[in-house]
Structures are given as structure tokens and as C-alpha cells.
């Protein structure tokens, strides 16, 4: 079963890279690891017989959004967060906050384990040939996006537009016309 | 022993080997061609000492670079500085994997069933090329940042801003061709251009998409960081731009990646707009000859443009990309969509 092996390989890569993203002090490395994690995710999509989604993931996230991230990180010129200073002054490092955070993280892990335990009919991690045809065809994807899911599609577009207008309004300095 | 059972996987292995080496040779030829054509345009001879007519010049260049010391600035980021050129050249090679370059052939009867010229054919081929090419910017950006040099950093910043801006127009002009062909597979796009109109005009998408072709070529030049859009390495302003701190083989990888990207860009332009291996007067069985000729012509135009047109100013680049090229490509896409809907209904 080469597909199962590939699945676990990509899954391990995605999880490993994601864990390392939050473990890095250097934001540049975090960005690169996030890209690696996106790559592994798109590998998982290919295993699910959804090549279009896989490539869209690479083009949009790895190719466009992460380049912007990199751009911002480079402009901020913050190669390394000052660890000692950060530990002392950051509001998230206060004892109360840390304790609550730990508690919530523990709760989340318990909840996840419980939910996974409840699921008895877990399907195989790779796609069966029958449901492949519905997601792999770009035509089908487009048709369902613009008929069955029109509302969700339009709502998302408006959300993005609002965010964009908001960013422009916030970025404009006082007094500028 | 039944040889033909082994012939198939061997043929694919040979195809990968040949394509890989053809790309390397192509970049060597481009180095020579660039220096020769530059010489002619500037009324000089160009290289002529190494070999007859200077043909061994690229090999002399690479030999010289191999014997140079590999330097790394003291404040450079060790991992990313090493990773950057590798990333640039790997993405350049990988992008060619889904580009078909010839019709089915048995290689003059060598194989028992015909093989398609091209490494692989996936049903989202155009997007794969686009995705991998867009990953290539990381090589330049990381090289710029990790060098710990202000000139290199500016080069990297410019590269990322430029790529983001021109990718939009590039992708939108691609979408118009995809609408015409009704497929994301490059091979099917080429097959949609079979035959002629009125018996002599080849059915190339160039004639249906003249504006789209122009936008594609302009955005393609910007994507491959070639003059007049070579801001990441603008030598009058940034010393040598993103690769200022690189030397030896690590340095050689950047221009080589750039030349291979140019080849990929020209090959995709040929497949999308110039009918791929369908050329008048050349039978499809040796269609790859016509394909190579078209690619060579586009590459010549690339070099021709570099030594004829002066570099833009940076604000002109952004204004042109966002206020002219992108709206033009969107209008082109909408008109194409309307036309396809009207004539297919």
C-alpha cells in the first residue's frame, strides 16, 4: 500500500513542519517551514485525487500569500526576537495568562482525543475511486461553486472585500486626503 | 528476453534524462547567444577566442566559476544562504516537467507503442507550471535576505514585489487561453490548435488572443526578471542585486536558473499561443523541430529586447503592472469569456 505510506509521510511532514513553525525564534525560518507545511498539505490533496485543489493551495498560499509574508518580515528586519526581553515584558508571558493557556491547551487535547475515539467508521486516508470524479474535475468544481454554493462563495468575496477596504482605511494616515 | 516490456519505463527515464540535459545545454547556448547577440547589437565581436567563433565560451565560464572560492559573508544566515540558489535552480528544472514538446512518436520505430514527447501530462498542467514558477521567487528573495547586505536585500524586496504584481496579469492572460481550449492540460491546449483557417492560416491561439499573447510575454519577461524589468539585479543601483554576495558555483546557479526559466516561459508560450508542435510545412511526426524553432525565436526576442530597451524606473514598473497590464488582462478575459459563451451556445 504505497498510498498509505505516502499519506503518513506527508502527514508527518505537515505536522512536524507546523510544530516547528511555532517553535522558531527566527520569523524567517517560520515562514519557510510554513511553506513546507503547505507543500505537504498539497501532497495530501493529491492523494485525495484533488489535483486542482492541491495546485491552487501551492499557487495561492505558498506562491502568493507567503511571498507577502516574507516581504513584511524582511521589511520589519526582525531576524531574531530578543528572548530575554520578550519573556520579561510580553503580556502573554504573565503567570495568570500562562496558566489559563496551559489549561485550555490541555482541554483541547482531551477534546480531540475524545472526538477521535468516538469516530468508529474512520475511512481510509486515501480516496476511493468513486468519489474522486466529483472533486478532480475543474468543470464540476466550478459548476457546484457557482450553483449550489453561490451564497457561500459571494459571502466570502464580500468578506475579503470588506477586509481589503478596512486595511486601506486603517493604513491611510490622519490628514492625508 | 522480452525487450519491449522494459522499453517503456526506460523510454520515460531516457526522456527525463534528455530533457534535463537539454535544459542545461540550452542555458549554455543562451549564455553564448546572449553575449554574441549583445556584441552584434553593440557593434562588437562578442566572445571569439575560446574555440571557433567563441562557442566554448560558456564552458570556459563555468570552469572558471568552479575554481573560484565559495565565499559566505560573516553575518549571513548559514542555512538560507546555502538553500537559496538550490531552491532557485530546482524550481527552474521542475517547472519544465509538465511542458509537452512534441506529438506522439515511436522515435523512428524504436518503440513498439508511440511515446508522447514531454515528461508527464497531468490534467492541471498549466497550473503546475505556474505554481512551480511562482515558487522560484523564494530563491531570489532568500538570497537577498540571507546575504546580510543592503544591496542584496533591496534586490530581494524588489523581486518579491515585482513577482506578486506581474503574476496577476500573467495568470489572467493564461486563463483566457484556458477558456478557449476548455482544458488545463497543456497537451490538450496544443491539440486544440490543430488545422488551419481558410487553408493557410494556422489555428494558433495567437490569432484569437493577440492582446493576451502580448500581456503574457510582457508579464513573462517581468517574471523571469529580464530587462527591461531586471530590477532585482539592477547593476547601476544595487551593485549586482540579490546575488551580490554569491560566488563560485552558488553564483552560477542563479543565472542558470534564470536561463532555464526563460526556456520554460518560451516553451509554455509556444504551447499556449503558437500551436506547440503544429507548424505549417512541418509534418507533426517531426513537430518538435518546429517547436524548437519557435522557442528559439522567442528566446532570441528576449535577448534582443534586453539589449535594445532601457530599464524602467521602479515606480513606472508598479504603475504599468497594476494600472495598465492587470486591467487590460481582466478586460481581455471578460471579452474572451463572453465570446466563448456566445459562439459555443
Cis, peptide link before residue A11, omega less than 30° from 0: no
pLDDT band of A12, cuts 50, 70, 90: very high
Determine, for residues B130 and A59 on separate chains, whether the beta-carbon distance falls below 8 Å. yes
Determine, for residues A70 and B160 on separate chains, whether the beta-carbon distance falls below 8 Å. yes
Total domains in chain B come to 1
Q: What does the pLDDT read at residue A106?
A: 93
**Nearest CB to A63; choose among B131, B146, B153:** B131
Q: Which residues pair with B197 in a beta bridge?
A: B201
Asked, for residue B96, whether it belongs to a domain, the answer is yes
Asked, for residue B50, whether it belongs to a domain, the answer is no
Asked, for residue B134, whether it belongs to a domain, the answer is yes
Residues of A in contact with B157 (CB under 8 A): 71, 74-75
Start-to-end CA span in chain B (Å) = 56
Q: Grid coordinates in use for A51?
A: 489535483
How many CB atoms lie under 10 A from the CB of residue A116? 9
CATH number at residue A33: 1.20.120.1200
In angstroms, the separation between the Cα of residue A56 and the nearest Cα of chain B is: 8
One-character DSSP codes across B58-126:
HHHHHHHHHTS-----TTS-HHHHHHHHHHHHHHHHHHGGG---EEEE-TTTTSSS-EEESS---TTHH
Asked, for residue B288, whether it belongs to a domain, the answer is yes
Q: Supply the range of the domain harboring residue A78.
A: 2-126
Distance, CA of A138 to CA of A143 (rounded, Å): 8
The pair phi, psi for residue B104, each rounded to 5°, is -65, 135
SS3 category, B232: helix
Determine, for residues A74 and B124 on separate chains, whether the beta-carbon distance falls below 8 Å. no
Asked, for residue A161, whether it belongs to a domain, the answer is no
Q: What does the pLDDT read at residue B1?
A: 40
- Chunked mean pLDDT (size 10), chain B, 345 residues: 60 83 89 88 86 85 86 82 89 88 70 71 83 86 83 83 85 88 83 77 82 89 83 75 82 89 90 83 77 90 87 84 90 90 80
* Residues contacting B299, CB < 8 A, separation 6+: B30, B33, B262, B263, B266
At A104-117, the pLDDT tens digits run 999 999 998 888 88
Q: What does the pLDDT read at residue A84?
A: 64
Among candidate residues B58, B61, B72, the one with its CA nearest the CA of residue B247: B72
Is A132's Cβ below 8 Å from some Cβ in B? Answer: no
Distance, CA of B125 to CA of B100 (rounded, Å): 9
Interface of A with B in 38-57 (CB under 8 A): 51-52, 55-56
Asked, for residue B161, whether it belongs to a domain, the answer is yes
Determine, for residues A79 and B77 on separate chains, whether the beta-carbon distance falls below 8 Å. yes
Chain B residue with the nearest C-alpha to that of A49: B123
Q: Supply the range of the domain harboring residue B207.
A: 70-344
Is B125's Cβ below 8 Å from some Cβ in A? Answer: no
Residues of B in contact with A58 (CB under 8 A): 131-132, 134-135
Interface of B with A in 247-306 (CB under 8 A): none
Q: What does the pLDDT read at residue B331?
A: 92
Total domains in chain A come to 1
How many CB atoms lie under 10 A from the CB of residue B209? 21
Asked, for residue B49, whether it belongs to a domain, the answer is no
Asked, for residue B6, whether it belongs to a domain, the answer is no
Write down the pTM of the prediction.
0.82
Q: What does the pLDDT read at residue B330?
A: 92
One-character DSSP codes across B263-329:
HHHHHHHHHHHS-TT-BTTB-GGGHHHHHHHHHHHHHHHHHHHHTTSPPPPHHHHHHIIIIIIHHHH
ipTM for this model: 0.76
Amino acid at each position: 500500500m504505497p498510498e498509505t505510506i505516502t499519506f503518513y509521510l506527508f502527514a508527518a511532514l505537515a505536522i512536524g513542519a507546523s510544530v516547528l513553525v511555532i517553535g522558531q525564534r527566527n520569523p524567517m525560518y517560520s515562514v519557510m517551514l510554513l511553506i513546507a507545511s503547505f507543500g505537504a498539505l498539497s501532497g495530501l490533496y493529491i492523494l485525495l485525487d484533488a489535483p486542482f485543489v492541491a495546485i491552487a493551495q501551492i499557487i495561492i498560499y505558498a506562491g502568493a500569500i507567503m511571498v507577502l509574508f516574507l516581504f513584511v518580515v524582511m521589511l520589519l528586519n526582525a531576524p531574531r526576537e530578543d528572548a530575554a526581553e520578550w519573556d520579561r515584558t510580553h503580556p502573554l508571558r504573565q503567570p495568570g495568562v500562562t496558566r489559563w493557556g496551559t489549561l485550555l491547551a490541555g482541554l483541547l487535547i482531551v477534546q480531540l482525543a475524545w472526538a477521535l475515539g468516538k469516530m468508529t467508521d474512520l475511512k481510509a486516508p486515501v480516496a476511493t475511486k468513486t468519489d474522486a470524479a466529483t472533486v478532480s474535475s475543474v468543470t464540476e468544481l466550478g459548476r457546484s461553486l457557482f450553483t449550489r454554493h453561490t451564497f457561500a462563495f459571494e459571502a466570502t468575496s464580500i468578506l475579503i472585500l470588506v477586509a481589503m477596504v478596512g486595511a486601506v482605511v486603517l493604513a491611510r494616515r490622519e490628514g492625508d486626503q | 528476453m522480452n525487450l519491449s516490456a522494459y522499453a517503456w519505463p526506460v523510454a520515460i527515464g531516457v526522456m527525463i534524462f534528455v530533457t534535463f540535459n537539454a535544459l542545461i545545454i540550452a542555458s549554455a547556448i543562451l549564455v553564448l547567444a546572449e553575449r554574441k547577440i549583445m556584441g552584434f547589437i553593440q557593434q562588437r565581436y562578442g566572445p571569439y577566442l575560446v574555440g571557433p567563433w567563441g562557442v566554448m565560451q560558456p564552458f570556459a565560464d563555468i570552469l572558471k566559476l568552479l575554481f573560484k572560492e565559495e565565499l559566505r559573508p560573516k553575518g549571513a544566515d548559514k542555512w538560507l544562504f546555502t538553500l537559496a540558489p538550490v531552491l532557485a535552480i530546482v524550481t527552474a528544472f521542475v517547472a519544465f516537467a509538465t511542458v509537452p514538446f512534441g506529438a506522439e512518436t515511436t522515435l523512428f520505430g524504436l518503440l513498439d507503442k508511440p511515446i508522447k514527447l514531454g515528461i508527464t501530462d497531468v490534467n492541471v498542467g498549466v497550473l503546475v507550471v505556474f505554481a512551480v514558477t511562482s515558487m522560484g521567487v523564494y530563491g531570489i528573495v532568500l538570497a537577498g535576505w540571507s546575504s546580510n547586505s543592503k544591496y542584496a536585500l533591496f534586490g530581494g524586496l524588489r523581486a518579491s514585489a515585482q513577482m506578486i504584481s506581474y503574476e496577476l496579469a500573467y495568470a489572467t492572460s493564461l486563463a483566457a487561453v484556458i477558456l478557449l481550449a476548455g482544458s488545463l492540460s497543456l497537451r490538450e491546449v496544443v491539440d486544440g490548435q490543430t488545422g488551419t483557417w481558410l487553408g493557410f492560416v494556422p489555428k494558433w491561439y495567437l490569432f484569437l488572443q493577440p492582446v493576451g499573447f502580448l500581456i503574457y510575454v510582457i508579464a513573462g519577461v517581468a517574471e523571469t526578471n529580464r530587462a527591461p524589468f531586471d530590477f532585482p539585479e539592477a547593476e547601476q543601483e544595487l551593485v549586482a542585486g540579490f546575488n551580490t554576495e554569491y560566488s563560485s558555483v552558488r553564483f552560477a546557479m542563479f543565472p542558470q536558473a534564470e536561463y532555464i526559466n526563460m526556456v520554460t516561459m518560451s516553451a509554455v508560450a509556444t504551447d499556449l499561443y503558437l500551436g506547440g508542435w503544429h507548424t505549417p510545412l512541418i509534418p507533426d511526426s517531426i513537430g518538435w523541430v518546429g517547436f524548437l524553432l519557435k522557442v528559439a525565436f522567442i528566446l532570441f526576442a528576449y535577448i534582443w529586447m534586453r539589449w535594445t530597451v532601457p530599464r524602467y524606473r521602479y515606480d513606472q514598473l508598479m504603475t504599468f503592472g497594476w494600472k495598465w497590464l492587470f486591467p487590460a488582462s481582466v478586460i481581455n478575459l471578460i471579452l474572451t469569456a463572453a465570446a466563448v459563451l456566445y459562439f459555443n451556445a
